[in-house]
Structure 1
């Protein structure tokens, strides 16, 4: 192990707020490592405890830090579950050896095949469509698919996040899967050529850029926009009527979907409770709350949507195998570097 890697492991272990020793490992408990940072998830946890009597102990942090921590803890890890966002991180956890395959007919039946790992090491529980937003006053003919974002007619109009962001990486990885590396590189170069500014900020900042006039076209996950419908988001909610949106590639591959999901830890001390929690997240009760509480699309088909999410309208999502997409992330990062996508 390199000196840098050793130092990182030590730093993660030393700075995590809740120590390993403080996590109980008795029956009736569940130790959850989560990089989901949404206050609304409290309802998911409290409902599970109320229904089962199982107490949830949590460690929260960035996904990569949690994965590194689990690797450092090894067989002594108290972790039962890892929850995180984006397919690439779920696949990274699998590749790091911190998850295990589980046998659950409930999960295999309720979660669509393209939203679960082929080895049953991770399962998706909610989705966010990554779609195109535009300034209705300035854009008469918005891009109707991702490929069109590279059209020269949008030169100087496009805002996007940086290449270091996992949402950017996974989108390009999906373009690679759907169109091939050569076409994906040409697309990435075209988008860079059309930037209104250097990449900066989060998804909400891309939407605010439309309101401020900094750009005319941007990409964001749907739940940031739906959240601004449901409650006041500074610099955005009061001007939502200025923004139009397009679910890209309808009639073709469909809109790119980001995944939030989880898996059972490789050395889970409470394996039965861990599987029970995973199955609970696939239940209609929990699936409804992913939409009502955090403006996401449920992974399980047919689950009712909240009003804010339903206002976005019907769409066709990309049914590409997300395990395959995750494996393209290194190639995506290489392309970003080659085309100068900061």
Structure 2
């Protein structure tokens, strides 16, 4: 049975699609299918419309984007796909709902490691998969991912579901760097250092650190910014104030990052406007807006980060191409199950 939330999203998607279908072929518009929540991208779209006069229509889905576009076929009104996580971008390409873009402006702004070699998707912003550490109980100022399996952290680590895309991305990067055999042993060690079964989301890991349940956790950088500035739920400010951000492997290969990104839909009816939007989203101006709104790092070299993000300290991203990491996601998921990661510690 569908939950109330899922039903609401489905109804909204249906209503939005009806509106989109009526304007898909209108002049001066571009249609966006988005896994990113509308309020996060609206400031960007408002600025794009202000600069170009091109109106934007957004269909937000929390799942099933590829299946929807596939079902719509050549009549799909989708022009641009916006999403988070390299896995979902790869899923869109493999699902046959994107088309390649070869554009000098976009390629100049987005480094090669953050775009598909064939041009089927492009990264816009990055978020580091970092360690949240207790300011009171963790004196360390540096750490590596490899160290997380060290017995010194036994009963001190919290983490969300091992199969969540954020963690699968990190585990896939470990395979890319060290191989499957090493990563399996590492996952077993990490599992046995957990204080409990994987649970919650990234924000709740910070809450668990504040409460003293655990001392360190894995989380994305941008959640820290969202918590620090959350006036609606001020208790989250307390969670964020209790932790410090440690960037793993800062002294060697760098911190694992994932991306938000975009792709041109396969049957984009407003292709010219879609390309204009993609050019805008890759620009420094747009990426700085994103940085201020959702506390992520622009992929454009030299683009300014927000003051909140800068307060975490400098990030040195792992330079390994995301396509190389994504190639190991299936194996990473299999290893999570193989070691019983979500069962929690067994020693």
| TM-score clears 0.5 | yes
* Cα displacement (A) at 1:19: 2.8
CA gap 1:220/1:14 in 2 versus in 1, 3 angstroms: closer
Correspondence 1:169 to 2:132: no
CA gap 1:183/1:234 in 2 versus in 1, 3 angstroms: farther
Correspondence 1:258 to 2:258: yes
* Cα displacement (A) at 1:234: 3.8
Q: Distance in 1 between matches of 2:11 and 2:38?
A: 23
Counterpart contact for 1:38–1:294, Cα < 8 Å: no
Counterpart contact for 1:159–1:217, Cα < 8 Å: yes
Find the counterpart in structure 2 of residue 335 from structure 1.
335
Q: Distance in 1 between matches of 2:324 and 2:212?
A: 37
Stretches of structure 1 that go unaligned for 5 or more consecutive residues are 1-10
Q: Distance in 2 between matches of 1:143 and 1:150?
A: 15
CA deviation string 1:268-314 (max 9, x = no partner): 11111111101100112101111111111111011111110110111
Find the counterpart in structure 2 of residue 46 from structure 1.
46
Alpha-carbon RMSD:
1.9
Q: Distance in 1 between matches of 2:23 and 2:168?
A: 34
TM-score, structure 1 length as denominator? 0.92
CA deviation string 1:117-176 (max 9, x = no partner): 011010001111110111132223466111111111111111111023110111111111
Which of structure 1's runs of 4+ aligned residues deviate more than 6 A? 11-15
Find the counterpart in structure 2 of residue 122 from structure 1.
121
Find the counterpart in structure 2 of residue 17 from structure 1.
15
Find the counterpart in structure 2 of residue 211 from structure 1.
210
Q: Distance in 1 between matches of 2:268 and 2:110?
A: 22
Q: Map of 1:272-283 to 2, 5 A cutoff? A: 272-283=272-283
- 1:72 aligns to what SS in structure 2? helix
After alignment, is 12-21 or 221-230 more displaced? Answer: 12-21
TM-score, structure 2 length as denominator? 0.91
Find the counterpart in structure 2 of residue 75 from structure 1.
74
Q: Distance in 2 between matches of 1:28 and 1:15?
A: 22
CA gap 1:109/1:173 in 2 versus in 1, 3 angstroms: same
Q: Map of 1:189-200 to 2, 5 A cutoff? A: 189-200=188-199
* Cα displacement (A) at 1:12: 6.9
CA gap 1:14/1:75 in 2 versus in 1, 3 angstroms: farther
* Cα displacement (A) at 1:13: 9.9
Stretches of structure 2 that go unaligned for 5 or more consecutive residues are 1-8, 343-347
Q: Map of 1:5-154 to 2, 5 A cutoff? A: 16-20=14-18, 21-37=21-37, 39-62=39-62, 64-141=63-140, 144-154=143-153
- 2:24 aligns to what SS in structure 1? coil
